[in-house]
Amino acid sequence: MRLKTPEDVMRFLCKEDPYGIILDACKDESIDWSDLQWVQQNCRPSASYPKSPMPCRHCGVTASTATTSYSNTNGNAGRPYFKCPTMGKFLVFADARGNDPTNPLCRCGVSSKRTMSGFYNARTPGKLFYVCRIGMCEFNKECRDARGGQVVVDPEIVDYLILLEII
């Protein structure tokens, strides 16, 4: 499934949960970004994110904090994150983006974080996947739609999805 319009995104977000009812309610009208904003604010209060450095899952040393470059072209400009202090490996973004509480559980047993592969140098550009939200495990799972297909974002709507913290 390729997410290209607000309706696609609504369909994807509401596939297997009680808020599918929202889709029914919108059946007769076109869905726009403000509808999605409503869903995000009222039905998907975002799950928490790490506020202070965790022990690195690779070496056990307390993680160090960093921020992605503002010229990052993968939709990740200026994001705070934690990294391994000894190897510099990325651990987890320290923000609420993609922290949908209905995401699948990671190996830590908490809801995961939805994120997107970049549009440059990625095997499947704009592909959505889930990772550990608290930075403590190597969970990595592709987002699948109700029919089991890979979920890919159209470059034109990336900014909206980021603004709404869907990714």
Interface residue list for Zn ion (CB under 5 A): 56, 58-59, 84, 86, 106, 108, 132, 136-137
Q: How far is the CB of 29 from Zn ion (least distance, A)?
A: 39
In angstroms and rounded to an integer, the radius of gyration of the C-alpha atoms of the chain is: 16
Q: Which is nearer to Zn ion, 26 or 84 (CB)?
A: 84
Q: How far is the CB of 104 from Zn ion (least distance, A)?
A: 11
Q: How far is the CB of 47 from Zn ion (least distance, A)?
A: 12
Nearest in space to 55 (alpha carbons), one of 137, 111, 113: 137
Q: How far is the CB of 110 from Zn ion (least distance, A)?
A: 6
Q: 2-3 and 152-153: which strand pairing?
A: parallel
Q: Which is nearer to Zn ion, 3 or 132 (CB)?
A: 132
Q: Which is nearer to Zn ion, 47 or 153 (CB)?
A: 47
Rounded-to-integer distance, Cα 140 and Cα 114, Å: 10
Q: Which is nearer to Zn ion, 96 or 137 (CB)?
A: 137
Nearest in space to 10 (alpha carbons), one of 37, 28, 48: 37
